[in-house]
Amino acid sequence: MNLSDLILTLIGIVVAGLGWFLIRLNDDLSKLNDKINLCQVDMPQKFVLKDDYKDDIDDLKRLIVEQGNKTDRLLERVFERLETKADK
């Protein structure tokens, strides 16, 4: 066996190993890309965006204030009636 045959065999083995490594790397990148795409599709269904959350919280605060105002008015009316009845 010549030295050139040995060198060519070693180069072939290195190229084959490098090819296998690149194929594995490509498969891993494809899987990673698929997972990223899946996350981008599923994320709006599972998580609330910050702007949507702020809008919903503002709506809830407004409703709480409105209910508090209604309760205050109702209590004022009740106490007014109680005061007028106590005077009689």
The CA distance from 33 to 38, in Å, is 9
For the chain (length 88 residues), average pLDDT per consecutive 10?
90 97 97 92 78 89 96 92 74
Which pLDDT does position 87 carry in this prediction?
62
The predicted pLDDT at position 88 comes to 58
Indicate the domain borders of the chain: 1-46, 48-88
Q: What gap in Å lies between CA 26 and CA 51, rounded to an integer? A: 37
What is residue 43's predicted lDDT score, i.e. its pLDDT?
Answer: 79
pLDDT at 8: 94
pLDDT given for residue 50 in this prediction: 81
C-alpha–C-alpha distance, residues 82 and 65, integer Å: 26
